[in-house]
Amino acid sequence: MTYCVGLLLDAGIVLLSDTRTNAGLDNISTYRKMFTFEEPGERVIAILTAGSLSVTQTVLARLTEAAEDPDASETTSILKAPSMLRVAQMIGSTLSDVTAEISGRMNRMSQSASASLIVAGQRKGGPMRLFLIYKEGNFIEATRDTPYLQIGEHKYGKPILDRVVTPETSLMDAQKAVLLSMDSTLRSNLSVGMPLDLCVIECDGLKVSQRRRIEPEDPQFSKMSKAWSEALRRAYTEIEI
């Protein structure tokens, strides 16, 4: 399993992903699930992945290869596509192709493979956008009504987002919200695990403004997690029924 979350705020985009990958409970590894593509001042794109590693790695490899191709064009490279919408379409179509190819082979063994992605970013002159790309390649977009998107194990971490995130939330508060959302998920689902990757993209910055890997023993995260537990217990004690 996986938990990735993205927030689209007036001040920018905040993204968080875990790194746990497992093929059965007895085969656990750490793989990065957050990937960024930048041309500072021109465009910034972040991709978060959930699902079958064979699918997500192939998708990323193809997108990277296409972007590095000297003959790359507007229709083949996410670094040249004229808008974030085109970027989402291009990634969706790559995901759909890869899933179909791999599933063709898997089906012969009565198995299947699929993946979903969060794609976020901004192109110079355009708005910031945040998409969730389904395994079939179609996608939805975050709006002011629901300014966040999640992939993977989304349930445990949803209540806190519903309660505190609005488009006006500051980038600092937004980091707190996604970290607390991840904290609830880490506690309840063993297949979501540290370290975490956090990324902040400020509005109109057209680059990754902040990138942080949070290791299991990170003192700041541990302190926050402990303070949240205590605050919840205190709130529970004080509530009257």
- Cβ distance to a second copy smaller for residue 55 or 186: 186
Handedness of CA 41, 35, 75, 126 (dihedral sign): negative
Is residue 235 part of the contact set for a second copy (CB under 8 A)?
yes
By CB under 8 A, tell whether 172 contacts a second copy: yes
Q: Which of 140, 188, 216, 222 binds a second copy (CB under 8 A)?
A: 188
What's the min distance (Å) between Cβ of 40 and a second copy? 26
Copy the structure tokens of residue 36.
């960024």
Give the total of residues touching a second copy (CB under 8 A).
33
DSSP state of 40: T
Contacting range for a second copy; rule: CB under 8 A; set: 50-58, 116-124, 151-159, 199-207: 151-159
**Which helix or strand (DSSP H or E) is residue 107 part of?**
helix 84-107
Distances (CA, A) of 60 to 11, 51, 90, 94, 153: 28, 13, 12, 9, 21
> How far apart are alpha carbons 97 and 123 in whole angstroms?
25
Strand intervals (E) in 101-229: 115-123, 129-133, 139-141, 148-152, 196-202, 210-214
Q: With binding defined as CB under 8 A, does residue 219 bind a second copy?
A: no
In one-letter notation, the amino acid at residue 54 is S
Contact pick of 46, 179, 192, 208 for a second copy (by CB under 8 A) = 179
Give the x-and-dash track for 66-105 against a second copy (CB under 8 A). Answer: ----------------------------------------
Helix axes 219-238, 171-188, angle to 10 degrees: 80
Which residue stretch of 46-54, 61-69, 90-98, 160-168 sits at the interface with a second copy (rule: CB under 8 A)?
160-168
Of 25 and 239, nearer to a second copy (C-beta) is 239
**Which residues of this chain interact with a second copy, rule CB under 8 A?**
155-156, 158-160, 162-164, 172, 175-177, 179-180, 184, 187-188, 220, 223-224, 227-229, 231-236, 238-241
